[in-house]
Amino acid sequence: MFSRDDVALVINNLFEPVWESVRAVPIVKIDFGNGKVITRTLNGNIATYVCTADGDVLDIMAGIYTPSQYIANLRQFYVLPRFVDQKGKDKRAEMLKIYHETQEENLKKDGLAALLVDERRDISKMRVIEKPVVRLLKPAHVAQSQGREVNKSKPDEEPPKLDNADDLANWKVLAEDTRINEISRRLEVHALLKESGLVRPEKVTKRLYKDILHADLDDPYLGLGEMLFANYPFAKEDRARN
């Protein structure tokens, strides 16, 4: 993802980016004993947070996304700090709660998130807006103002031109993951952040991974233990050794 020019351009231009590892990713190596070794990762997952300069978490994308949806969400993330601070920093917590409540409501009702619209972009040359406003609008209202319709049934993204059938299949899986993340996981994230209020990332990370990404960071086997050890005759010895 971050090797793509379009994604890197948006991130480098609009954000101060940083990455961190929450834990080592489980790796499975199968050594066939003839020089052939297959190495695979298991149960890895990702999350992208937007935070203020004070370190407050404003929103999170949990899981994997197609590049175009990721960029679209990043552009919303870029506007979000201006939305929550437009009535002053002392009102940030209140505005953030409104944001998450509104998003939760929209997702439950329409299956679509509300959109942040920065009205500074609509300034015509003949008009000066003294107090630029960032509004949180339903997608239908945004589309209407732009002279188009919102069609929930139509996929937001057409697949790129892929010659290889496997690549196309993988893209479809990614697109479906994105769709699920945009609805179900975003709903869970909004509920989590509405409840937690203004917090630093470390205060929500474990809950995010455990409850939303289903990877308990405190579990040494990342949720795989029961499946791996249930019928294994040497499970006790393994656990004692580890």
Partner 1 sequence: MSGRRRRILSTLRSLACLCLVGTLASAVMGEDLVPNNTARPEAIGAKIPRDVGKTVHIEPPTKAIVATKSANVPNADNPKVQPGLVKWHKDFTEACGASKKSGKPVLLFQMMGKLDDQFC
Structure tokens at 160: 């790129």
The nearer residue to partner 1, 108 or 206, going by C-beta atoms, is: 206
Q: What is the DSSP letter of 159?
A: P
Q: How many CA within 13 A on the CB side of residue 15?
A: 23
Q: With binding defined as CB under 8 A, does residue 231 bind partner 1?
A: yes
**CA dist., res. 149 & res. 136, Å (int):** 18
Nearest Cα residue to 15 out of 64, 61, 66, 62: 61
Q: With binding defined as CB under 8 A, does residue 173 bind partner 1?
A: no
Min. distance of Cβ 153 from partner 1 in angstroms? 30
Q: With binding defined as CB under 8 A, does residue 44 bind partner 1?
A: yes
Stretch that binds partner 1, among 30-38, 89-97, 107-115, 126-134 (CB under 8 A): 30-38
Q: What is the size of the binding site for partner 1 (CB under 8 A)?
A: 61
Structure tokens at 84: 């929550």
126, 165, 230, 240: which one contacts partner 1 (CB under 8 A)? Answer: 230
Nearest Cα residue to 192 out of 178, 216, 177, 211: 211
Rule CB under 8 A: which residues touch partner 1?
1-5, 7-8, 11-12, 14-30, 37-55, 58, 74, 77-78, 80-81, 201, 205, 215, 224, 227-228, 230-233
